Structure 1
Amino acid sequence: RDRWQEMPSDTPFYSSAFTRGIFGRGKTGSPKKATGNITLRVVLPTLRPDETLAVAGSGRELGDWKRIVPMDDSRFPEWELTLHTAHRFEYKFLIADRKTLTPILWEEGANRTWGELPGAGEHALDAAASPRFPKRRWRGAGTAIPVFSLRTEEDFGVGEFYDLKRLIDWAAATGQRVIQVQPINDTTMTGTWEDSYPYNANSTFALHPQFIRLPAAGVVEDDEYRTLRSELNALPEIDYERVNGHKLRLLRRAFERHGARTAARRDYKAFIAANRHWLIPYAAFCTLRDETGTPDFTRWGGFARYDRKAVDAYCRSHSRDIAFHCYVQYHLHTQLSEVCAYARDHGIVLKGDLPIGISRTSVDAWLYPHLFHMDSQAGAPPDAFSAVGQNWGFPTYNWERMARDGYAWWRARMAKMAEYFDAFRIDHILGFFRIWEIPTHAVHGLLGYFNPALPYSADELRGMGFDTQGGRYTTPAPDEHTLGELFGDLAGEVRATCMKEGRLLPAYATQRKVAARFPGDDEHQTRLREGLMALLDDVLFIEDPRRKGYFHPRIAPHSTHAYRRLDGERRATFDRLYTDFFYHRHNRFWQESALRKLPVLLSATEMLTCGEDLGMIPDSVPETMHELQILSLEIQRMPKTPGELFADPAHYPYFSVCTTSTHDMNPLRAWWE
C-alpha cells in the first residue's frame, strides 16, 4: 500500500540539512534483517537524534499495548518495522526517548487498524501511513562569517578551511546548529587586492587557493615558512596580495616535490575523473590568464573563443601547469570535505552562498558564452544603498538557451555545491523572477530595465500621449534651466562642446563614452563627467535592446527634469502607467518565469534553500517562495513592513532565516556599539 504525496507542509525538514545534519543519525549501519509477513514503513524527518519513532498496539508481537516497539531508522528519514502475525491488530505511532523508550508524544486520533492479512507466501508492505502528530516547531541558532576572517595560529595570514573546525566546536558547545559562509570560489584574476571580492569568481566550481592549509598540501614547515607565517599572521589586517602570492609560490614548490606521487593516488584519480568537465578548462583558463597577464579571454588571440581541440592541445603542451592547478584543487577539495564530515559528525550544518551572477572574465563565460547575455550587465534598481542603482557588471543569463538542455549548467553547479554544503542562500532570488539588466554602454543602474518583461509598444505609448518618435522621451533634451541646474557655470562649455541642436553629440551619447572622455578626478573633469552622466539618466523611457519599438518606463523617474516638464494631465497618465508596469503588469508573468527555473534548482540536490528576498519585491515573490517552501530572509535593519525602523522577529514567518544584518552591513557588535 502506497500513496501519492504532494509537497509536504514541512518540506524543509526533508533536506539534507536535517536528515544528514541536525536530525541525522550518523553511521547507523545496514537495515536490520527481520523476518515477518507485515512491514510498516513511514517517512518522518522531524525527530531529534535522541528520539525514535515507535509503535504500540494490540496482539502478542506488540505486547497488547504494554510494550513500546522502536522502528528501524537505518534509512532515516525512513522508519520501518516488520512484524509476524496471523491476527488483525490495532496500533498507534508514538515518539519515544531513544534510550529509555519512554513515550514523549502519541499520535492523535483513533487507533489504526490492520485488517487485511497477507496470504501464504505473501508479504504486506504499508507505506501509506502518515503519523498524526501535532506540529512541533524547531528553531535553531547559527553564525554567518566569511572564512577569511577565522584566524588561528596555524593560519598563513588568512582564515582557512581547517579553521572552520574550531568554529564548529564552538558552535556545538554553545548550542548552535548552522554556520553560514560567504562564497568560497576562486576569484583570482589579476593577482591584486581587487580579486578579494567573493562575488566575482573566475569559476563557479573551483575553490579559492587562499583557503588551503599549506602543510596539509605538502608544503614543508621550514624556517622560511615559519618566519613568513609569523610575519603575515601579525599584520593588523589581511594582506591579500602577499598572502596569496606566497601561498601559490610555496604550493608550486610542494607540487614539484609531491605532484607525481599525488597523481598516482587512487582518490586523486577519482577526483580528476569526477570533475574533469570543469577542472581541465579551469586549469587551462588559469594557465592562459597567467601567460597572457589578463583574465579577459577576448584578448587571448586564438583562444578568445573556447575550442576543445585547441585547448586540449594547449593542455598537453603545458601539462605541468595544468597538473599544478589540478593538484591545488584536489587538496582544497580534500580539506573542505574533511571539514564537512566534521561538521556533520557534530550536528552542525554548513550553509553556502550562491551568487546570482558570474564574472564576464570567468571560465564559465569562456566555456559557455551562449548561456549568457554578454552584451548586458546585471545590477539592481535604486535603493537605500544607491540612489543611481547598482551595476554589478555581470552578464545576465540566457534562460531560454539554458532551458534547452534542462538547465544542465545549473544542475552541475548545484551538485558541486552540495558536495560541501547541506544548506545554501540564493543571492538575490529576485534574479530568478527577473533580473535588472543594464546595457553595456551605461554605468548607472538607473538606465536598466527588467528582463524578462512586458514592455509597452510604441503604439500603446502613443495612445497614452507619449509619442517616442525621434527619440522623444528616450534621449535627453535639456532646456536652459536643466543645463544650469546640472552644470552651473559650465553650462555654456557643455552646450558648445558636447551638444548640437539641443541634443548630445554621438561622442557623448552614452555614459561609457563620457567616462572615457573625462577620466580625471580634478574638479573640472568630475563636474563634467557627473553632470553628463546625470543628463543621460534624464529620460522617461528606455527602448528594449532586443525588441525594437518596445519601451520600459525608466525606474525612479519622478526626480528627473523630463518628468517635471510634463503638464499635469500627462504626468498623471505617466504615474498610472508607471504604477501598473512596476507593481501589477508582471506579477503572474514573473511568477511563471520563476516556476520554470527554481524547481530545477531545488530538485537538483537535497540542500535546504533560503532566498535573499530583499529589495523591490513584487507580490509574486513571497507567494512563490511560500509555494516552494523556500525560507525567506528577515533582517532587522531592513524591515519588509513599510514604516518600521527595526523589524519585530515575533512577526516573522516560521520558515525563515532571521538575522540582525547581512555581510553588506555592520556586524552585531558594531551595531550594538
Structure 2
Amino acid sequence: METGVQVTFRVHFNSVPGQDVYLCGSGEQLGNDRIEAAKKLEYTPDSWELVVPGLNPGAVLQYRYLFKDRASQKTIWERGKSRTVVVPKSDVEKLVCEDGWFRKTPSVEEEIFHTTAFRDVIYGRRQQDSDRGSQSSLLNSRTKVDEPKKSPGDYLFFRTLQVRVPPTNEVFIRFQTEQAAATAVSGPNGDQKSNAGLERRLSADRFPFWELSMPLADLGIDRTRERLIHYQLLIRSNKQASTVAVDRDLSRVLRVPAAGQSVQLTDYQVITDPEMTARFAGFAIPVFSIRSNNSCGVGELLDLERMIDLAVLMKLSLIQLLPLNDTSVTGTWRDSYPYSCVSVHALHPMYLNLDDLNPPSDIAKEIQQARARLNQLNAINYEDVMNTKMGFLRRLYAQDKQRILRDPVFLKFFNENQDWLVPYAVSRFLAKVNGTADFSRWGARHQVSVADLEALAAPDTFYFDELALVYYIQFHLYRQLARVGEYAAKKRIILKGDLPIGVHRYSVDAWMNQDQFFMDRQTGAPPDQFAEFGQNWGFPTYNWERMAQDRYRWWRGRLQSMQKVFHAYRIDHILGFFRIWEIPGDAVSGLRGRFRPVNPIRRDELDSRGIWDIERLCEPYISETQLRRVFSDQKWTFVRDWFLEPWYNRYRFRTIYDSEAKLQEFFKNEDQVRRFCEQSGIDQEYLKLELFRFQNNVILLRDFDHPDDTFHPRIEFWRAPTYWELNGDWQHKLRQLYDDYFFRRQEALWRDKAMEKLPMLKAASDMLVCGEDLGMLPSCVFEVLENLCIIGLRVQRMPENAEFGECSKYPYLTVATTGSHDTSTLRGWWEEIPPDKRQRFWSNVMKQEGKPPADCGPDIVEWMIRDHLQAPSILTIFPLQDLLGIDDKLRRPVAAEEQINVPANPDHYWRFRLHLSVEELLQSRDWIRKIAGMVTESKRVRID
C-alpha cells in the first residue's frame, strides 16, 4: 500500500507537436537532479501534469521544468530559480501544485530584485534574517495572523514572490468570490469584509516570499467539482493602515480542486502598479581614493563606514568600488593598477586599518606620525605607503602571533579559506626568495602539486612566519571588510564590487591553474577614441574549453568569495565573455590583437578572390618611400641602418627588433637611445611612435594555432599605409572580408559562447549582476544581456550610434552614469572637448541658447546630474567627483586632477586621492541637502 502524500504537478506550456515537458528535481522520485532521470509530464487539454505518489510528509523538494524538442534534440530549461514544494505534515493526502506558466522569459522580479542587493539590503526585513535560507516547512509554519483551524480538511498553501515591499508595508490577497464575501468576518486573523471578496494578510516570515495557509472551506464555495477563482494582490502600510498599491493584473486565477485535495499555488508575477517602479542612486569611489583622519596615506576599508553614512544622508542607496585584490608584483608604484590582481581572493594589504589591530602605545605613536606625514600628500605615494604599512604589520604580527594563531576566530577563517590562502601565501614567499614573481623562473617550483604545497606550508619550516604573516594580514582584512559589509546592509546601502576580466600572468591563480590559461598570449582591447594602438592589459587569456570541463570551478569560487561581502558586482569588460581581444605574447600595444573565439579567414577564401601574396599582407610593409615620408631629409637612413635589413624590394626589421617587445627593450636602454637620437636628430618619442606604426603596418595577422592557412584582418587596416599601396581590386575584396569578419560571421558564435558562460556567472551567487558593455559591441550583446537580465551601462558621452546619449531613452535595466574611472569627470570632459562639440551639447542636449561657457560651472554639472537622475534606468551612479562638482566650495580647483585613470597610458600611476576628507564631506550640510533634494525629486528615494 502506497504511503505518503500524492502530489500533482501542473504547469501551462504552449507546445507544438514533437515537444515534451519534463520535471527534474531533488529526491529520487523527482530524478535526483539528473536530466536523464527527469520525469515526463502528461498533456491535458489546458496543461501538462505529473502525478507523483508517496512523497514523504515534511519533505522540501526543489525542481524545475524543461522541455525537449524531438526534432532538434534540443533541451530547454525554464528560466529563473528552482521551484519549491513542501510536502505537508498535516492530514493532507493529496496536493496539487499549480505552477502557472512554464517560464520562457526572464522575470525582472526574480532575476533582478530576488538578489542580495534588493532582497537582503534594500528591502530586507531584519527580524527575519535568522529564518532566511532555512529548510523548515512553510506549509506547517503558522503565522500569528493566519493560524488555520486545526480541523481536518483541504488547504490552500499560497506563496507569491514580491520583493519590492518596504518593511513598513504588507501584502494582502483578495479573493474575488461572492461566496467568500458572504462568509467573511472580521477577526484576529487579518480577515476583512469586502464587497469584492475575502481578504487575508500574507506572512513575510520567509521574505521575499509572502505566504498564506488557510482551509479551502474558508472560501465558501461548492467543491463538488474543480472551480476557478480570481484573486488580486495589494499592498498596505502597516503604519498608516492605508492602501499603497493595488494590483492592476486582473488575470490571476486560483484553480481550486474538487474536495479531497489541497492545493499549493506559487505566484511569481509582480504586483503591477505604477507605485512599484523602483529606481535608486549611488556614487562610485575607489577605496584607495578616500581621504580620512584615520587612514594612513591611502583610503582604507574602515573608511567605508563613514562613506556609508554620507550616502545615507544624501538619500543614496549604493556605493560602487574598484577591485580590492592584492596587486603586489614588483614592489613599485606599477603595482598600483587595481585590475592586475595576483589573487582573485586575497585583499590588498594597503587597505588595512592599523589602529583596528590594537597596536601597543609605542607602535601606535609611530603609526600616528606616519599618518600625519602621508596624509599631507595630495596623491598616494604607493611605495611609501606599502613600505610603511608592511613594516608596521610585521611588528604587530611578531607581538601578536602567539595569541592570533590559537584564536578560534582566526582558525575558523583559516579553515574556511585555506584552499586559496595557503597557495597565495606560498606564492608570495617563493616570489620573495626567487627575486621575481615570474613563476616560470622558480625552477622546480614553477609547478606544484597539492602534496608540494602541504610540505611547503608546514608549520615546522624555518620560514613559517613569512606564511603566517600573510594569513594574519588576510584575516584582519576580511574581518574589517565583513564589518563594513554588515554596516552597509544595516544602513540599507548596496556595496557593489568589481569583477576584473583578467588576472596578472604571475598571479597565484595562473600558477596553480596553468592549464586553464594561455600563458603565451595577452588580453587587451582594440583601438578606440582614447587609444590609437589599443590597450594591452598583459593578462593571460582563458582556456575556456578547459575551464568548462570542471564546470568553471575557478569562476564559481571567485564569485562565491565576492558574495561574502558584496551585494552587487560589475563585470569589467563583459564583452570578454562573448569574445576576448587576444594579443601575441611579444606585442606591447593592442594593434596585433584578434578576437577569440572567432571564425577566421581561411586561405581558400583568399584564393577564391585572387588574393595570393600572403607574405605581402602579413609582414610589416616598409618601403623606402614610406621611410622618406616619415623621417625627413637623411634621417631615414639612420633608421634603415640601425633597425632594418633589405628584403626583396623593400625592408624588414632585423631579428633583434622584429617585435614590439624587442623594440621596447631597445627603448629601455637609455644610453643607447640617447646615442641614436643624437646621431640621427630624431626625437625619441617620435621615433618610438613611428617604429611601432611600422611594426603594425600589415593587413592580415597569422592565426596562433594554424599560421599558414588561417588569418585575421588587422583591426582598421585601412589606417595602415600598406593598404593604400595595394591595387584597388584587392582593397575592395579585403574590405569586404573585413566587414564580414567583424560584423556578420561571428554573431552566432559569440552569442552561443556568451550563453555558455554568463548564466554560470549569474548562478554562482545571489549578487546583482551589472555589465560594463562599452566599446566595439557585437549586435548580439544587447540581446544576450536582456535575455539574462544583466544590467547594462550607459555613458552619455559614449552612446552606441549617436554623438550624445539621451538619458530619457535609456532602458530600465541599465546603469546611467556620467563617467567612470577610465574617463575624465564631467568638468574635465566639458573643458577638453572641441568648442563645436560643446556647442552641440549645449544647444541640442541642454536646449540652451547662445554660446556655452568654456568652463564647466556648478550649474552645468548640476544640470547633467539632474538629467541622469531623471533617466528611466534602475540605477544612476555618479563618480563622487561629479557630485562635488555642483559646489564651488567643494570642487577641486583643477578639473584634470579629478581623473582616476588614463586608459591610453599603459604606465599610468593610479594614485588619485580626494582633496577633502570624509569628515569634511560629512560636515558639508548644504551640499548634502542639495544632493538629497535632487535624489528625492527624481523619485530615486532610498528605503529607510
What TM-score do the two structures reach when normalised by structure 1?
A: 0.94
Aligned residue number for residue 274 of structure 1: 416
Partner of 1:63: 192
**Structure 2 equivalent of residue 344 of structure 1:** 489
2:697 alignment partner, one of 526, 538, 556? 538
Residue 73 of structure 1: SS of its match in structure 2? strand
Match of 1:8 among 107, 115, 126: 107
Flag the 1:68–1:457 CA change in 2: closer, same or farther, 3 A. same
Offset of residue 112 of structure 1: 6.0
Alpha carbons of structure 1 residues 118 and 350: separation in structure 2 relative to 1, 3 Å? farther
Structure 2 residues not aligned, in runs of 5+: 1-96, 132-137, 149-154, 176-180, 186-190, 221-228, 830-855, 858-944
Counterpart of 1:613 (choices 770, 773, 785) is 773
Q: Please give the residue correspondences for 1:77-96 in structure 2 after superposition, counting only pairs within 5 Å.
A: 77-88=208-219, 91-96=231-236
- Superposed displacement of residue 128, structure 1: 4.4
Contact 1:147 1:161 in 2 (8 A): yes
1:609-648 correspondence to structure 2 within 5 Å = 609-642=769-802, 644=803, 646-648=804-806
Query: Which structure 1 segments of 5+ residues have no match?
Result: none
Which structure: larger Rg?
2
* Aligned residue among 392, 402, 406 for 2:537: 392
Q: Secondary structure at the match of 2:280?
A: coil
- 1:365 and 1:563 map into 2 onto residues whose CA distance is 39
TM-score by length of 2: 0.68
Quick one: which amino acid aligns to residue 823 of structure 2? M
- Report if the CA contact (8 A) 1:218-1:258 is conserved: no
Structure 1 residue 515, shift from structure 2 partner = 2.5
Instruction: Tell me the CA shift for residue 85 of structure 1.
Output: 5.0
Contact 2:254 2:265 in 1 (8 A): no
Instruction: Give the structure 1 partner of residue 277 of structure 2.
Output: 137
- CA–CA separation in structure 1 for the residues paired with 2:518 and 2:472: 33
For the residues of structure 1 that align with 2:192 and 2:667, how far apart are their CA atoms? 88
Alpha-carbon distance in 2 for matches of 1:85, 1:60: 13
1:256-275 counterparts in 2 under 5 A? 256-275=398-417
**Paired residue for 1:578?**
738
Shift of 1:649: 0.7
Counting only pairs closer than 5 Å after superposition, residues 631-670 of structure 1 correspond to structure 2 as 631-642=791-802, 644=803, 646-668=804-826, 670=828
Shift of 1:129: 6.4
The C-alpha deviation readout for 1:26-58, integer Å capped at 9, x for no partner, is 232547634433321111222233322112343
State the match for 1:75 in structure 2. Answer: 206
**Residue deviations 1:536-592 (CA, integer Å, cap 9, x gap):** 211100010112310001111112121101222221212211111111111111111
Stretch of structure 1 that moved more, 41-50 or 272-281: 41-50
Q: Which amino acid in structure 1 is aligned with residue 621 of structure 2?
A: A
Matched, 1:319 2:464: yes
Residues 145, 180 of structure 1: 8 Å contact kept: yes
How many aligned residue pairs are there?
669
Q: Is the 8 A contact 1:219 1:253 kept in 2?
A: no
SS of alignment partner, residue 126 of structure 2: coil
The one-letter amino acid paired with 1:64 is: K
Shifted more, 622-631 versus 93-102: the winner is 93-102
- Report the identity percentage: 36
Shift of 1:110: 4.5
For the 8 Å contact 2:234–2:271, the answer to whether it is kept is no
Distance 1:193 1:131, change over 3 A: closer
Among 509, 517, 531, the alignment partner of 2:666 is: 517
Correspondence 1:144-543 to 2 at 5 A? 144-221=284-361, 222-316=364-458, 317=461, 318-469=463-614, 471-488=615-632, 489-497=634-642, 498-501=644-647, 502-504=650-652, 505-519=654-668, 520=670, 522=674, 523=677, 524=682, 528-543=687-702
**CA shift at 1:111, angstroms?**
8.2
8 Å CA contact retained: 1:437, 1:450: yes
Within the candidate set 723, 726, 736, 1:566 is matched to 726
Change (3 A) 1:113 1:454: closer
1:602 aligns with 2:762: yes
* 1:87–1:117 CA contact under 8 A, matched in 2: no
| Matched letter for residue 60 of structure 1 | A
For residue 141 of structure 1, give the secondary structure of its aligned residue in structure 2.
Answer: strand
Report the CA distance between 1:485 and its aligned residue. 2.1
Name the SS of the counterpart of 1:384 in structure 2. Answer: coil
RMSD (Å) for aligned C-alpha atoms? 2.2
More strand by share: 2
CA contact (8 A) 1:38 1:82 kept: yes
Shift of 1:118: 7.9
The DSSP-based 3-state class of the residue aligned with 1:127 is strand
Q: Is the 8 A contact 1:486 1:535 kept in 2?
A: no
1:472 maps to amino acid: R
Partners in 1 of 2:828 and 2:98 — Cα distance? 55
Residue 715 of structure 2: aligned partner:
555
Any idea what the Cα deviations from partners look like across 1:400-437, whole Å, max 9, x if unmatched? 11111000000000110111111111111111111111
